[in-house]
Amino acid sequence: MLIIVVVAAQHIFLTDGASVAVRMCLNALIRNSNDGILVPIPQYPLYSASITLYGACAGTCASGGGAWCRDGRGFPNTPRCPHPQQPAGGSLVPYMLNERDNWALDINSLKQSVADARRQGKLVRGLVFINPGNPTGVCGIACARSGKRGCGAA
């Protein structure tokens, strides 16, 4: 069955690959080390590396009060930043996939991860849901159904 969806041009965003899109989204979501991103375990290292990298400087930077510290390459807290001692990066909030159920999303694990993060003072700002799962390669209806129900848990 062919499904046609009409989309306005201003709602289309193109990147030069999925990794670039992931990094851009994480960079937009993460403000500081208290911001958490739910990531399935096992996970593709792009997520943990990007979450660690992105964040805001807690100080007032030369670019303006509360602005992100950035050098010419766009990375936070590099040597040109007047506050390099400030912690950068968000927090990876892991949720376990159920290996016995073909790496399906475990809603209880997702809810527990959110609760644990909140107890640690983290603000969960995003959920990584990958279908098909990387690195497991799982793609299935059960995962999609679980993900749809699970999105309300965060």
What is the per-residue DSSP string for 125-145?
EEE---SS-TTT----HHHHH
pLDDT in tens, the chain (154 residues): 888 989 999 988 889 988 899 999 998 899 888 899 999 888 888 888 888 887 654 433 443 333 344 433 344 444 444 444 445 678 899 998 888 888 888 888 899 999 999 999 999 999 988 765 655 556 544 444 544 444 343 3
* pTM for the structure as a whole: 0.65
Domain presence at residue 2:
no
Domain presence at residue 141:
yes
Domain presence at residue 31:
yes
Range of the domain at 100: 17-58+67-153
Number of structural domains found in the chain: 1
Domain presence at residue 9:
no
Contact (CB, 8 A) for 30 and 55: yes
Q: Which residue has the tokens 């994480």?
A: 26
Angle at 6 between CA 2 and CA 11, to 5 degrees: 130
Domain presence at residue 4:
no
CB atoms within 10 A of CB 117: 22
Domain presence at residue 7:
no
Three-state DSSP class for residue 98: strand
Element (H, E) at 95: strand 91-98
φ, ψ for residue 35, nearest 5 deg = -85, 125
Amino acid letter at 134? Answer: N
Domain presence at residue 82:
yes
**CATH number of the domain where residue 146 is located:** 3.40.640.10
Cα distance between the two ends of the chain: 33
Contact (CB, 8 A) for 146 and 107: yes
Domain presence at residue 12:
no
